[in-house]
Amino acid sequence: MKIREVHARRVWDSRGRPTVEVEVINEDGTTGCGIAPAGASRGTREAVELRDGGQRFKGLDVQAALRGIEHEIAPALAGQEVTNQSGIDATLIALDGTPNKARLGGNALTATSLAVLSAAAAHARLPLWQYLAGGRPVALPLPQIQIFGGGAHAGRRVDVQDFMVIAAGAATFAQALEMTAEVYRAAGELMAARGPLSGVADEGGWWPSFSRNEEALDTLVAAIEKAGFIPGDEVAIALDIAASEFGQGGRYRLALENEELDSDALCERLVGWVDRYPIVSIEDPLAEDDEAGLVAFTRAVGHRIQVVGDDYLVTNAARVHAAAALGACNTVLIKPNQAGTVTETLAALEAAQSLGYATIVSARSGETEDVAIVHLATGWNAGQLKVGSFARSERMAKWNEGVRIETRPHAPVRFAGRAALAGGRKA
Ligand code: PGA
Ligand code: ZN
């Protein structure tokens, strides 16, 4: 089936900022849409967004990206076979012509590539996850769900960016959400009772006013217990330190504790947390430029817990291979807009799977109602999914889509469960 038309429009993300939506129309009239999300704590090697600059919307408008789609991408894609995802993505990459997609914009390419994928599934008259699975057995991903937001998503009120839970004891995706709903509510009640509740952060997690990073961990354990679950066994903790946000050149500044740590000291601090708290996963424990630190941390705890590379690996297959050769991380965060096309995203995921690394498909802090990543996580059998907290509809739309896939009539889809976690401590 050939593509007839490609259109672009400006829509708005969950932070009220402009973003790019692309609609692909096939010759048979079936259509597909894709919307680019936007990160706030980005790796330096990610595909670059094209933003207009200037005064309008604080420089964040996307008119140049829309013009590039209408004038360059649309004519190049018209008449191409919609199911030839890798060929179309190669066309997009060649058209852009830069190593980091800066000319046409990673936002333009991501939205286009996802729209093509969704149009191909629409032509096949299949839900996207099923189109991607191509008849292989797949499983619903184990969710990582944020309870407190910090770092760049909450005015840097706490240094650690995401305090999340993993409902390791859940037998189904729906049950994982039920358990998380109870913990999220319990955490909000505890914080309201103790005073440090200041609303919700960018991804819907409670915006905390803790005085130490460990106070967040203590409160999270208390919330898991208050919700009636055994910490670690039924509901475990996952952290995204996002250390590139507060560290560079092997020096880390913890604002909350008013401490400056070197790489070894931060590593030791985090290993101490792994020893004392029911943590099963830590993302970006050290900064993206601290490869030696990432290797040392993985050597110290990689056999026990997940060590996840986000800013460091930026959904790039070559970087995943290089990290594996060094022994850095054992899990890869997969964000389509870090790579810029579906094909490059899949290449990073397949590289990880071939090396025995676990994979987590992830949303961004700036999101929309687009639920494609839930289908990618399921159809590609990624094992895990991270889309922020358990509030706000740009997040809930994704969790609800997982429920729809799991409970579809006649042919329920299996749940990956705790077996999807890397590291020995599977809670
Ligand atoms: P971002 O953060 O979307 O703001 O970059 C998400 C993450 O670090 O995982
Ligand atoms: Zn991250």
Give the tens place of pLDDT for each residue, 130-180.
999 999 999 999 999 999 998 887 777 789 999 999 999 999 999 999 999
One-character DSSP codes across 238-280: EEE--GGGTEETTEEEETTTTEEEEHHHHHHHHHHHHHHS-EE
Answer whether 406 contacts ligand 1 (Cβ < 6 A): no
Catalytic residue, chosen from 23, 234, 335, 406, is 335
pLDDT-derived band at 426, boundaries 50, 70, 90: low
Given a cut of 60, is residue 80 above it in pLDDT?
yes
What pLDDT score does 345 carry?
Answer: 99
Q: What is the pLDDT of residues 248-267, one digit of tens each?
A: 899 999 988 899 999 999 99
What pLDDT score does 154 carry?
Answer: 75
Answer whether 365 contacts ligand 1 (Cβ < 6 A): yes
What pLDDT score does 214 carry?
Answer: 93
Catalytic residue, chosen from 21, 46, 49, 203, is 203
What pLDDT score does 222 carry?
Answer: 97
Given a cut of 90, is residue 412 above it in pLDDT?
no
Answer whether 115 contacts ligand 1 (Cβ < 6 A): no
- Whole-number Å distance between alpha carbons of 334 and 348: 7
What pLDDT score does 350 carry?
Answer: 98
- Whole-number Å distance between alpha carbons of 29 and 135: 25
DSSP one-letter code for 231: B
Given a cut of 80, is residue 99 above it in pLDDT?
yes
Mean pLDDT along residues 351-356: 98
Question: Would you say how long the chain is, in residues?
Answer: 427
Answer whether 4 contacts ligand 1 (Cβ < 6 A): no
**pTM for this predicted structure:** 0.97
Given a cut of 80, is residue 195 above it in pLDDT?
no
What pLDDT score does 199 carry?
Answer: 83
pLDDT-derived band at 81, boundaries 50, 70, 90: very high
Q: What's the CA-to-centroid distance between 280 and ligand 1, angstroms? A: 19
Q: What's the CA-to-centroid distance between 78 and ligand 1, angstroms? A: 34
User: In this structure, what token pair is assigned to residue 203?
Assistant: 């991804």
Q: What's the CA-to-centroid distance between 38 and ligand 1, angstroms? A: 9
* Nearest-ligand number for the alpha carbon of 282: 2
- Whole-number Å distance between alpha carbons of 119 and 295: 41
Query: 68 with 104: CB under 8 angstroms?
Result: yes
What pLDDT score does 403 carry?
Answer: 97
Q: Which atom of ligand 1 is nearest to the CA of 365?
A: 3
Mean pLDDT along residues 22-34: 98
What pLDDT score does 300 carry?
Answer: 98
Given a cut of 90, is residue 5 above it in pLDDT?
yes
Nearest to 212 by CA among 263, 259, 268, 247: 259
- Whole-number Å distance between alpha carbons of 245 and 41: 7
Is residue 369 part of the annotated active site? The answer reads no
Given a cut of 60, is residue 54 above it in pLDDT?
yes
Given a cut of 90, is residue 128 above it in pLDDT?
yes
Answer whether 39 contacts ligand 1 (Cβ < 6 A): yes
Q: In sequence order, what are the residues at sequence separation of 6 or more whose Cβ sits closer than 8 angstroms to the Cβ of residue 22?
A: 6, 7, 8, 33, 34, 35, 69, 108, 111, 112, 114, 115
Given a cut of 80, is residue 427 above it in pLDDT?
no
Q: Which atom of ligand 1 is nearest to the CA of 363?
A: 3
Query: 362 with 331: CB under 8 angstroms?
Result: no
Of 6-20, 128-142, 197-211, 262-276, the one with minimum mean pLDDT is 197-211
Answer whether 335 contacts ligand 1 (Cβ < 6 A): no
Answer whether 362 contacts ligand 1 (Cβ < 6 A): yes
Beta bridge pairs of residue 240: 162, 283
Is residue 72 part of the annotated active site? The answer reads no
Q: What's the CA-to-centroid distance between 364 and ligand 1, angstroms? A: 5
User: In this structure, what token pair is assigned to residue 65?
Assistant: 């990206």
What is the distance, to the nearest Å, from the Cα of residue 264 to the centroid of all Cα atoms in its chain? Answer: 27
